[in-house]
Structure 1
Amino acid sequence: MLPALLAALFTLAACTNAPPPQLVERPPSESPTTSAPTTRPKLTEVTVGVDNLEGGFNPHSLADLSPTSSALASLMLPSVFRPGPGGELELDRTLMESAKVVEDAEKFTVRYQIRKEAGWSDGAPIAAEDFVYLWEQLRSQPGASDPVGYQLIEDVASRQGGKTVEVTFSRPYEGWRTLFTNLLPAHLVKDAPGGWAEALDRGYPASGGPFAIQQFDLDRGEIVLVRNDRYWGEPAVSDRVVLRSNDRARQVESLRSGDSHVAVFSADDETMDALRGLGDAVRVKTVPRPATMQLLLRPSSPNLTDVRVRKAVASALNREDLTEVGTQGGPADQLPAHAQVLAPSERGYTPTEPPGAFPGEPDGGEVARLLGEAGYQRSGGTWLRDGRPLNLVIAAPFDNEQYIRIAEETADQLRQQGIQANVITPTGDQLFGEMLPANPRTEDPGASSVDIAVAPRPAGGDPATMLAASFGCPKTDEDGEQPFPYTMTGFCDPLLQPTIDAALSGAISFDEASERVEPVVWSQAVALPLYQQAQVMVVRRGMSGVQPGFGFAGPFSTADRWLGSPTDDDGY
């Protein structure tokens, strides 16, 4: 039997280039030889200390605008354009083959060509469906951080099996390169329970970047990311990145002991002193965030409809004290904001605040003059009109300590000037998704229940788009009937809108539009910028590849190049 089998095998081998398999005769009773266990290589891991891991990771929602959501988006979500070395946007050629304006189109049209191999970690392709989903959501969802450009889009069409996308706009749009950043896996999130507001409360169900979520435990304050084996681009250097939240004292201790390789968190003055005490063991750098902290004095609220009352409120406040309370002496303290659109670290930033527009310290005389002109009288330490006190509602999202500190300090300063104030802390989804963008012309009392809001103003996008998102009038849909959500300020000046529209189309420069619009916004006391948010990035000596990131991309945009150290956990 054996000779016949050998002959057959050699005949088969002669028909192929492969060598014949080696045959070993073994008695039926003999068991296979047991080999020595193979030692698996240890995983290379980077442990990163971060701030509290709040729930909610939608990078397009103001309610979820946080360092953690930005970090996860950098690691897992694909973008058409990303900041280059000079901060200018460059096409991400890992995802895209091209993105160009179609010269001979009847309307302003951009054609996007997605790489054929680009796909999500569950095997689905990154395709036109993802572009359509982001467009449909951001043009209509209240509380979106970057809606204006999407509201200018008339249609998103799929071509060539979804790998070519043609986007048609209602008018020329100079800032089109800022669109379709942080694409989401539409096939998984469009029908997810909770919809847009809740679908990403537990991270992302699939990844289109170099890492994917392996473990997600907000109770323990830990997110474990592993190399995405389905990523078509250059693989990440380290096998795993662990995000671990700690309080500030433990952040410093973890860096001292080596339990953390990197830390990116919000520090106060005491923490900065402690970090300096680590000496040459670490490198410390300030990382500005793409958001300016501001107070919105909402003209859409009945209490603040009169500009004199808004100016009186502004005159009652000490912005330096509000900044100190918010930053606690951390790196953001060095980034005071004195413009209505650009953040202090952005290219082209110059203060636009008119000299003497608001006093450096509370001015009780000015408060009295303005409220008197508005029909108020002070009685028993309280300002009254028609027998009713001026009582302002100040809102801040309940899960953000920094915002709440500013809200409470604002209320205290107003009370010292006889203006009653109380602080409410709705959820971020309630505040940014329901209360602030509500139509002020409706009879719904919830639309005007917030007089002052502590809110972020997104930065880093197209400046004209940011201008429109903050101070433009709401647009309507294609039928001209249903208005899109209002801005958080509730401010709308029809006389300024043509200037804003001209800046969006590129007919005039942002600088020219800013010179016309920002003085009016300052004079109307609609928004009081305080400071640009910032974190501190701390890197232990010996870590390689860690950089602050280009523009506002942040340090996590370089995480695929981070080289960590072997871990005792083999990960299997």
Structure 2
Amino acid sequence: MSQGRRRAMGAVPLLVTVVSLVAGCTDAPPPHLVAPDPTTSAPSTSTPAQPMPIEVVVGVDELEGGFNPHTLADLSPTSSALAGLMLPSVFRPGPEGALQLDTNLMESAEVVPDAEKFTVRYRIKRQASWSDGAPIAAEDFVYLWEQLRSQPGVADPAGYRMIEDVASRQGGKTVDVTFSKPFAGWQALFNNLLPAHLLRAAPRGWATVLDDGYPASGGPFAIRQIDLDRGEIILERNDRYWGPPAQSDRIVLRAVDKARQVEALRSGDSHLALFSADAGTVQSLRDLGDQVQLMTVPRPATMELLLRQDSRALADVKVRRAVLAGLDRPALIQAGTGGGPGDQLQAHAQVLAPSEHGYTPTEPAGTLPKRPDPAQVERLLTEAGYQRSGTTWIRDGRPLNLVIAAPFEHEGYISIAEAAAQQLRDQGIQATVVTPTGDQLFRDMLATDPHSAESGSSGTVDMAVAPRPAGGDPAATMASSYGCPGVDGDSEQPLPYNAAGFCDELLQPTIDAALSGRTPFQQASANVESALWRDAIALPLYQQAQVLALSKDARGVQAGNGFAGPFSTAAEWLGTPAENDGY
């Protein structure tokens, strides 16, 4: 019950007391009591019944902690969903997937024609504000730039590292962003802005500051309650949102196992479900017939197995090729997808994801065997100086022993790592799986300088199961995933490395030319991909994907443009009255 309703009901006894006092102070005879006429209705003194809130219940995968959409550690369906509901973006995918200005947030965003350096001017709508009343302004642009250009383990830093300055104008509602050189993909920047006024001085650092959710919303919904132990997140309409109000009062994200997802749709307990179904669950959903409508929703991430050049064990390209020859790629894909929709999006390129515009397989014919090839493993390891001793390969008295890392928050990543380790052990290559936190893996273990004193130490890993982000500017994705990091222009300190630990000084001019638009992306990526396949840097597996199942009670739900996903349309969802108005 709302505070307003409590106050209204609490006023009734006071009114009765006042009337009684007035009656006691008059000489008039008491009023004649008349029995009420049953044919007439007396005025009601009770509070009118309030309509039940309209809610949409969404079945989702396990709700992981960590909601920063800009970090590899938190790159998950949960963070994507909440970001789409609550974080403002300058551009969003349009109907054909091309980026379009979000006119709810922005007045304009355009290149300044006569600027001395490449400059983009952003004009933010004056009424745009966070749910705590603070304006969405230049400081939010500055904060995101400062973090994404320098923090380790971020998803797509290349474009932000090209920015020289972010200047505030007109009370923070106009932002001038100056680049060191022209950047053709500038429209992909400044998506999922964060409330700088609340995060900049937060006691915890960038890595953990969003572990428990967002402290404010700049979208049509805001967080009401997060209960990860119970597996539930409740969002309610953001009354401070200046754009069109959400059609439903609240959205409930509810995590249950796959079998109960299907049962909840059958019984009507869920309006829709968006989750990583395996082949058996997909069939169970199909068995529901016309009760649900099914769609595949590709996610902006390609799963890959990284082979670190800086590893002592994998420094020799022949050893890396031997490792790839010992892997059963279809079995790794099965371990990660369970035969679900991701199995239909197998990846055979190093930059673009299978569902991205312009994707074509770049894997050279015969580069990788379709199944493990023991003869090729033996030939390559022998050429690298190893000898087989029983069930182990040894060189200089040391066994070939690989450490494969996967973030412990993600079950699918771990399944791939364990399958790969077993396949390598079958070839006489010792392998151990470690499961650090996502922050430990992507911020500390994979982002260190491969040429530093820590390279090859016990703190590093040889291989890692990791996501490669997709959906941004393709040249920036290529630079973020495989480009040399450079140095911070202010501190002259080296910037963090990419997750692959890869840097080829001979390729870097090609990557830079693609970023500035001097060389077409297709031409530049052909050169880069050729080198990546030759040097055995990464084994692409599949693009992540989910199943969207809609019941007939869910209205206004769309798959979303590009990689925006269904939650980008949540303001238009119309559910049904809730069973109760409590939380």
* TM-score bucket of the superposed structures, by smaller chain: over 0.9
Is the contact between residue 440 and residue 490 of structure 1 (CA under 8 Å) also seen in structure 2? Answer: yes
The corresponding residue for 1:314 is 324
Q: How does 1:335-350 map to 2 (within 5 A)?
A: 335-350=345-360
Q: Secondary structure at the match of 1:514?
A: helix
Q: 1:558 aligns with which of 539, 548, 569?
A: 569
Paired residue type of 1:515: A
Is the contact between residue 323 and residue 333 of structure 1 (CA under 8 Å) also seen in structure 2? Answer: yes
Is the contact between residue 68 and residue 79 of structure 2 (CA under 8 Å) also seen in structure 1? Answer: yes
Is the contact between residue 288 and residue 532 of structure 1 (CA under 8 Å) also seen in structure 2? Answer: yes
The corresponding residue for 1:508 is 519
The corresponding residue for 2:578 is 567
Separation in structure 2 between the aligned mates of residue 255 and residue 425 of structure 1, nearest angstrom: 34
Q: Which runs of 4+ in 1 moved over 2 A?
A: 25-31, 444-448
Q: Which runs of 5+ in 1 are unaligned?
A: 1-24
Paired residue type of 1:56: G
Give, in angstroms, the shift of residue 27 of structure 1: 7.6
The corresponding residue for 1:155 is 165
Paired residue type of 1:29: V
Paired residue type of 1:368: E
Stretch moving more, 439-448 or 531-540: 439-448
Q: How does 1:56-67 map to 2 (within 5 A)?
A: 56-67=66-77
The corresponding residue for 1:268 is 278
Separation in structure 1 between the aligned mates of residue 23 and residue 251 of structure 2, nearest angstrom: 47
Stretch moving more, 188-197 or 449-458: 188-197
Separation in structure 1 between the aligned mates of residue 49 and residue 514 of structure 2, nearest angstrom: 62
Is the contact between residue 396 and residue 404 of structure 1 (CA under 8 Å) also seen in structure 2? Answer: yes
The corresponding residue for 2:223 is 213
Give, in angstroms, the shift of residue 318 of structure 1: 1.1
Q: 2:63 aligns with which of 53, 56, 61?
A: 53
Give, in angstroms, the shift of residue 189 of structure 1: 1.1
Q: How does 1:289-300 map to 2 (within 5 A)?
A: 289-300=299-310
Q: 1:464 aligns with which of 454, 461, 475?
A: 475
Separation in structure 1 between the aligned mates of residue 404 and residue 23 of structure 2, nearest angstrom: 82
The corresponding residue for 2:438 is 428
Paired residue type of 1:481: E
Paired residue type of 1:560: A
1:186-211 Cα distance to aligned partner (Å, 9 max, x none): 11111223211111111100000000
1:374-433 Cα distance to aligned partner (Å, 9 max, x none): 111111121100010010000000111100000000000101111110000000000011
* 1:128 to 1:479, Cα distance in 2 relative to 1, 3 A: closer
Give, in angstroms, the shift of residue 444 of structure 1: 2.2
The corresponding residue for 2:22 is 29
Is the contact between residue 411 and residue 422 of structure 1 (CA under 8 Å) also seen in structure 2? Answer: yes
Q: How does 1:348-497 map to 2 (within 5 A)?
A: 348-444=358-454, 449-478=460-489, 481-497=492-508
Q: 1:534 aligns with which of 545, 567, 572?
A: 545
Q: Which runs of 5+ in 2 are unaligned?
A: 1-17, 25-42
Is the contact between residue 130 and residue 184 of structure 1 (CA under 8 Å) also seen in structure 2? Answer: yes
Is the contact between residue 41 and residue 570 of structure 1 (CA under 8 Å) also seen in structure 2? Answer: no
Is the contact between residue 302 and residue 347 of structure 2 (CA under 8 Å) also seen in structure 1? Answer: yes
The corresponding residue for 2:254 is 244
Separation in structure 1 between the aligned mates of residue 412 and residue 226 of structure 2, nearest angstrom: 25
Is the contact between residue 77 and residue 184 of structure 1 (CA under 8 Å) also seen in structure 2? Answer: yes
Paired residue type of 1:148: A
Q: 1:192 aligns with which of 188, 194, 202?
A: 202
Matched, 1:499 2:510: yes
Separation in structure 1 between the aligned mates of residue 491 and residue 313 of structure 2, nearest angstrom: 31
Is the contact between residue 392 and residue 452 of structure 1 (CA under 8 Å) also seen in structure 2? Answer: yes
Is the contact between residue 325 and residue 373 of structure 2 (CA under 8 Å) also seen in structure 1? Answer: yes
The corresponding residue for 1:21 is none
1:67-112 Cα distance to aligned partner (Å, 9 max, x none): 0100000000000000000000000000000001111111111000
Q: Secondary structure at the match of 1:234?
A: coil
Separation in structure 2 between the aligned mates of residue 103 and residue 161 of structure 1, nearest angstrom: 23
Separation in structure 2 between the aligned mates of residue 326 and residue 570 of structure 1, nearest angstrom: 40
Paired residue type of 1:73: A
> Under a length normalisation based on structure 2, what TM-score does the superposition of the two structures give?
0.92
Paired residue type of 1:437: A
Stretch moving more, 91-100 or 480-489: 480-489
Separation in structure 2 between the aligned mates of residue 37 and residue 549 of structure 1, nearest angstrom: 42
The corresponding residue for 2:35 is none
Is the contact between residue 435 and residue 447 of structure 1 (CA under 8 Å) also seen in structure 2? Answer: no
The corresponding residue for 1:331 is 341
Separation in structure 1 between the aligned mates of residue 458 and residue 45 of structure 2, nearest angstrom: 73
